[in-house]
Amino acid sequence: MRGVMTHSAVIMTFMLLTEMASPPGAKEMARLRERARAGRRGAFVALVASISLLTTVQLIADRATTREQVLPQALLSLGVFAVAVPALALTQVVWGVRARMVRRREQELYAFVRSGRARPLTRLAVAAGWTVTLLLGWTVPRFFREAAWYTFADALAWTVEVLSVVSVAAGVLFLLWLARDVAMAVARALRSGGSPGDPWDPGLGTRARKGAVLWTGAVVAVVALLGARAHLWEPATGIVYLLLAAALVCGVVTDE
């Protein structure tokens, strides 16, 4: 009996000694990182949906043969653009706030910021998405002219001119901000000694690889739609709808 108790005590002692306690704040960091990843997914889903929907509607409008057929597509294009701009802004603000919370907490816990190493490239991708969305939106007045809504088209054209000036100014500020961000990232990398790591961080894993494949599919579908919008190829209307469905499905599936 004493031997059994001694054996049990040895096992319990070994389990207690080998059990590694989580680092301070590790569970909190895991939650913050997951929220930041969810914000990032939401921002990219909004971007993919906005560009693919707007491109598809305008492709169908281009193929209309009468004014009566153009008008519903023109109204739909304007509606999609009016919803897309605030949706993109909102989702990207949420993503940015959550990402800053992660970096701030990493700095407090580890005196090192591990997150955001690909931030300059990500911001360039987001800026490219904004540029494409705005360029598609600037073409909306043309569809109202084709629908013989000339007064409304002129008013939209004036609004587009004002917004284009604001967009150019925002683009210049963005480039200055990006240059400063890159310089700061390089300076941190040069003076940093490395991160102690976080064993509770789930890492990439198979789910991330699955997400990468789906995001690639969404990007390919969006690029194909943009190529058709630029008249680089002329897919059938059915293929246009299939590409739209592929972009939306791939984006929604990755937003788990």
- In the chain, what are the domain boundaries? 24-254
The CA–CA distances, whole Å, from 160 to 20, 80, 164, 184, 193 equal: 60, 15, 6, 35, 49
Q: Specify the higher pLDDT residue, 117 or 256.
A: 117
pLDDT of residue 107: 77
The arithmetic mean of pLDDT across residues 147-173, rounded, is: 89
pLDDT surpasses 90 at 60: yes
Q: Report pLDDT for 254.
A: 59
Percentage of residues in the chain with pLDDT exceeding 90? 45
pTM passes above 0.85: no
- What CA–CA distance (Å, rounded) separates 197 from 226? 41
Contact in structure between 216 and 44 (CB atoms under 8 Å):
no
Nearest to 246 by CA among 227, 222, 228: 222
The answer to whether 22 and 197 are in contact (CB under 8 A) is no
* Backbone CA torsion sign across 191, 193, 198, 202: positive
> How much is the average pLDDT of 98-105?
87
Which residue, chain included where needed, has tokens 């931030």? 119
Return the DSSP state at 202.
-
pLDDT, tens only, 171-212 = 888 888 878 777 777 776 676 555 555 555 544 444 556 677
Angle at 244 between CA 242 and CA 141, to 5 degrees: 130
**Which two three-digit tokens encode residue 43?**
């921002």
pLDDT tens for 206-237 read: 455 667 788 888 999 999 999 999 999 999 99
Percent of the chain with pLDDT strictly greater than 70: 76
pLDDT surpasses 80 at 133: yes
Q: What local confidence, expressed as pLDDT, does residue 28 receive?
A: 81
The mean predicted confidence, pLDDT, of the chain is 81
**What average pLDDT does the segment 158-173 reach?**
87
Tokens 């198979």 -> residue: 206
Tell me whether residue 13 is exposed, middle or buried, using C-beta atoms within 10 angstroms of its C-beta: 0 to 12, 13 to 18, 19 or more. exposed
Q: Tokens 């057929």 appear where?
A: 69
Q: What pLDDT sits at residue 251?
A: 82
pLDDT of residue 188: 66
